[in-house]
Amino acid sequence: MTEPRVNQRFHIEYDPRLVEEAVLLRIAGDREEKRFRRARDLIYEVENVEEREDRFREFHAEWFLRLRLGAAVREALAERPAVMRQVRRCCVLRAPAAREEGADLHELRDTAPRESVAATALLIRLKPERLLDSSALQGWLRHELTHIDDMLDPRFGYQRFVPPKEASPVSTNLLRERYRVLWDTWIDGRLSRRGWLPEGERTKRLEEFIVIFSALGQDAQQKFDEIFRSEFQTHARLMALALDSRIQSGPASAGGGRPQPCPLCRFPTYQILDGGTALPAEIMLQIQADFPGWQPTHGCCQQCADLYRAMEMSRAAEALLPGI
């Protein structure tokens, strides 16, 4: 489904599955639901399969526009003139799970032979439920589209994440998480100064920051405030902070000494936790599945322990969610 053009060269396309699911969720309990159901049931009488599917797509697209389910997306994009100048089109796709939601850029190769430069498309992946709450969706889109603004800004100098050579899976995950939290913190700071940060988001981001940079101890709040209040950052600067051994290691222990590499992520740390006493049995089993030679007596750093705890919590939470 393609919405009316936002301007002459920019248009928004929606995944038909996303459109259908959003419409069915939105129409439930609506005063027009009976009329909707009657009209929809008539389409089942079309014998030709392809024609019937086309009719369903057209029908759901019509109701999607009538219910103004795409209004928040249009309005959020209208706030980003730099994005609309540099992007050919926006594709809004259905995300099968919340962890897969987000916005990204994708290069497109035009079919015209004379076109040698790849065009850029904006991809927004979200669950159908998001389209039902325009206020919450607006806040989420403002955050995600700030990522896109940064990626398109040559001053930021964005580069796709490439893990360091010989990095272990755990150290790669830790580095990716550090970078993500640093970037998200800077984005939320800018949204806050524009009056666009939803209530309670700063507190949530601070709590996440303290977990990811737990090695900083009491200095984590100060580092968070520094990033949150900064007016300008670059990709290189954020990556350097994520890689900074002082952040990875945290403040020196009271007893002094030299930092030792964590047996899992290999980042230096002043404190190796005893796996046998500091980690639950299920987390030790998960570590051993990822690192067959690891034993609880080898231990790990605080951030690896936090990462595996967070992974275990995510799996437990996902198991409780309906399989939508």
In a domain, 1, yes or no: no
- On whether the pTM is more than 0.85, the answer is no
Q: Give yes or no: residues 99 and 207 share one domain.
A: no
69 HSE (CA, 13 A, CB side): 29
- Is 117 inside a domain boundary? yes
What angle, 0 to 180 degrees and rounded to 10, lies between the N-to-C axes of helices 201-212 and 219-229? 130
* Predicted local distance difference test score (pLDDT) of residue 109: 60
Domain assignment of residue 4, yes or no: no
Let me know if residue 133 belongs to a domain. Answer: yes
Domain boundary among 142, 166, 197: 142
In a domain, 23, yes or no: yes
Residues 238 and 278 reside in one and the same domain: yes
What is the predicted pLDDT for the residue at 232?
95
Q: Which of 95, 27, 90 has its CA nearest to residue 62?
A: 27
Looking at the fold, whether 138 and 183 belong to one and the same domain comes out as: no
158/277 same-domain check = yes
Alpha carbons 24 and 298: distance in angstroms, whole number: 53
Domain encompassing residue 95? 11-142
Structure tokens given for 178? 């550090």
One domain, residues 122 and 164: no
Q: Indicate the number of domains in the chain.
A: 2
Amino acid 316: pLDDT: 53
* Residues in CB range of 197: below 8 A, 6 or more apart: 139, 188, 191
Same-domain pairing of 271 and 166: yes
215 and 79 in a common domain: no
pLDDT at res. 141: 97
Q: Are 120 and 242 members of one domain? A: no
Query: What are residue 97's phi and psi, to 5 degrees?
Result: -150, 155
Q: Is residue 2 part of a domain?
A: no
- The series of mean pLDDT values per 10 residues for the chain, 324 residues long, is 64 95 97 96 95 97 96 95 90 93 84 55 96 95 97 94 71 85 97 96 94 82 96 94 64 52 77 82 87 86 78 53 40
> For position 161, what pLDDT does the model report?
82
Q: Is 178 a domain residue?
A: yes
Same domain, 175 and 227: yes
Q: Both 206 and 266 in a single domain?
A: yes
User: How far is it, in rounded angstroms, from Cα 131 to Cα 149?
Assistant: 22
Domain for residue 131, yes or no? Answer: yes
Task: Give the pLDDT score at 4.
Answer: 57
Q: How far apart are CA 313 and CA 302, in angstroms?
A: 16
